[in-house]
Structure 1
Amino acid sequence: MSAPTTVRLPDGVTVAAHGTCVVSGPALSWLRRLDRAVAELAVGWGATEHQFPPLVPAADLDRMGYFTAFPHLVTMPATLPADEAEVQRFVDGYALGADGTVPVTGLAPMRHALTPAACYPVYAMLREHRADRPTLVTTVATCYRREERFEPLRRQWAFTMREVVCVGSAAEVREFLDRGRTAVDTLRERLGVPGPWEVATDPFFRPQDSGAHLMQQLDPVKHEALAGTLAIASVNLHHDHFGAAFDLGRGDATAHTGCVAFGLERWLAVVAERWGPDPLRWPDPLARSAGGPQ
């Protein structure tokens, strides 16, 4: 990951040395209120809130096709073999490199990845679930995507994502995404960061060779809410991709899925650009009316 771009950060945000930021004080309090605003909205729609561990089984990501579509973004936790002799071999040869690298002689099999999207554990949790009405779930997670460059709060190796997921019929999912889009616009108006929506595609590996990338161009399924040039939220239609992968049913048919996603640190970035670096002067995400700084 390349060196960070120099930008003016909100008070309470500092750049860490490994493609992430530290958020503290009033900035952290504001970020939590933003997340609470979205979570309360989702629960009001009937969503059940979940907290998942940060590890996603590789077998689940394989079902989704993630390792062929986005191998360049994957982060996997590495551990030493359980064999005592292998561990001793590591200890005997250990010396941290001058560039901060750990000398590894061997690794245990890697069966998990760090979650790249907050919604992914939802589909695996609902495996073989058959429903007679829409299922809504909301969750927040630290997500990991090994991007090629680092822009503080905007493009990070680790970042916070709040998602609301709908599993249902094609019509029910589309209605849910329309509602989500309206909710994003309401929140943007409340915080003074309005902007357009833009059709987008996911960052596929070698998109010129990806059939999924072509299908996204022919049938747009991802729309991003922009603040300036930065996407701060998105609505995503998956059709029956996850339904087929995990045998999710809606009545007698394969379920469709969709999600509304919020990149929380990105909201910090754009609100700071609009109202200045002091979070105490920003609009309150939990306020029920639009307006200027509180």
Structure 2
Amino acid sequence: MSPTISPPTGVQQGGLSALGPEATALLRLLDDTFAGWGAEAGAAQIIAPPLLPAADLAKLDYYDNFPHQAILATALDLDQRAEHPFAPRSGTFPQQALEPAALALPSAACYGVYLHHAGSALPDGTLVTVLGRCFRKETEYHDLRRLLGFHMREVVAIGSQDHTEQHLRTFTEKITAFAAALDLPLRKEAATDPFYDRGGARLLLQQLSPVKYEFLYEDLAIGSVNVHRNFFGERCGITVGDTGQAAFTSCAAFGLERWLSALTRRHGSWEAATEAVRQAGSAV
């Protein structure tokens, strides 16, 4: 049985929770580690917008593939203020009080990377790293394991197919070595998440060659490596400069709060988990 530790967060309501000082320090240490892997490989750091145009995500088939995760944002319709007061006693605003939703809260950090580079010709070997605030509608929420709002660090490769596949091999090795140094037993499994094109030859290709592998501690996926082939390159008009062809993309993703959950369950305290990350970071 995993040890019990002191709560890392404030009162959780609907999957939203504040991190306390110990949890915040460990999250930052983990993020520095993962971002450092990207920097060592030559990744450029960007800050993506906290919201994305819903129409742009629609072009990426997001609402066809992930409608269960989608969360939209909009403003109050000021013309409806008389009928729908701005301080609802129920805690919610009726649809009639809102403007049409044209903005989306992203469920993964990498969407902002692809949209940021839309219409660009990039050199082969491009790497980008981003820390995103991500949001997912879930059927239920539980501690740090499953949150409505959370942090995700990603390192994204853009370029030739060889470059994107090598990126995943490199980060698979890094994750495996880091987990071993942390004494954190992980298993790598092919994920069953839907991909972006469901028809014809691409569907068969995805069945023969999985597009996503997750790294699980117990039953919790705390990281993943994902290959998108040239889907985002085609949809976003991103090309490889020396060939003019649609870029291939791949990414390594880390759900930071989930890493906190796994590490504290494994090591039993915030102090022990933090020390394990410090030691493992210098060993890998």
TM-score, normalised by the number of residues in structure 2: 0.89
CA distance in 1, matches of 2:148, 2:74: 17
| 5+ long unaligned stretches in structure 2 | none
Q: Distance in 2 between matches of 1:134 and 1:153?
A: 35
SS in 2 for 1:174: helix
Q: Structure 2 vs 1, CA of residues 127 and 95 (structure 1 numbering), >3 Å: closer, same or farther?
A: closer
- Cα distance in 1 for partners of 2:64, 2:207 equals 19
CA–CA separation in structure 2 for the residues paired with 1:137 and 1:156 = 25
CA RMSD of superposed structures (Å): 2.4
Correspondence for 1:134? 125
Correspondence for 1:88: 82
1:51 to 47, 53, 57: 47
CA contact (8 A) 2:54 2:102 kept: yes
Distance 1:60 1:43 in 2: 28
Indicate the residue corresponding to 1:264 in structure 2: 256
Deviation track 1:161-219 (CA, whole Å, cap 9, x = no partner) reads 100000010011000110011111122122221322111121679xxx95477653332
Which of residues 16, 20, 27 is equivalent to 1:20?
Answer: 16
Match runs of 1:92-171 below 5 Å = 95-97=88-90, 100-171=91-162
Alignment partners' CA distance in 2, 1:171 and 1:54? 31
Secondary structure of the structure 2 residue equivalent to 1:22: coil
- Work out the number of aligned pairs and report it: 276
Change (3 A) 1:16 1:9: farther
State the Cα deviation string for residues 20-55 of structure 1 (Å, max 9, x = none): 332111121011100011111111111111112210
Indicate yes or no: 2:227 matched with 1:232.
Answer: no
CA shift in 2, pair 1:101/1:50, >3 Å: same
2:110 maps to a residue whose letter is: C
Given candidates 193, 209, 215, the residue that maps to 1:202 is 193
Task: Work out whether residues 135 and 168 of structure 1, in 8 Å CA contact, stay in contact via their aligned partners in 2.
Answer: yes
Report the AA paired with residue 39 of structure 2. Answer: V
Cα distance in 2 for partners of 1:114, 1:232 equals: 21
TM-score (norm 1): 0.86
Aligned to 2:180: 189
Query: 1:254 is matched with which residue?
Result: 246
The structure 1 residue matched to 2:164, chosen from 158, 168, 173, is 173
Partner of 1:241: 231
Pairing partner for 1:218 from 203, 208, 220: 208
Partner Cα distance (1:132, 1:268) in 2: 36
With 145-154 and 118-127 compared, the bigger mean Cα shift is at 145-154
The ranges of structure 1 where at least 4 consecutive aligned residues each deviate by more than 4 angstroms after the TM superposition are 7-11, 209-215
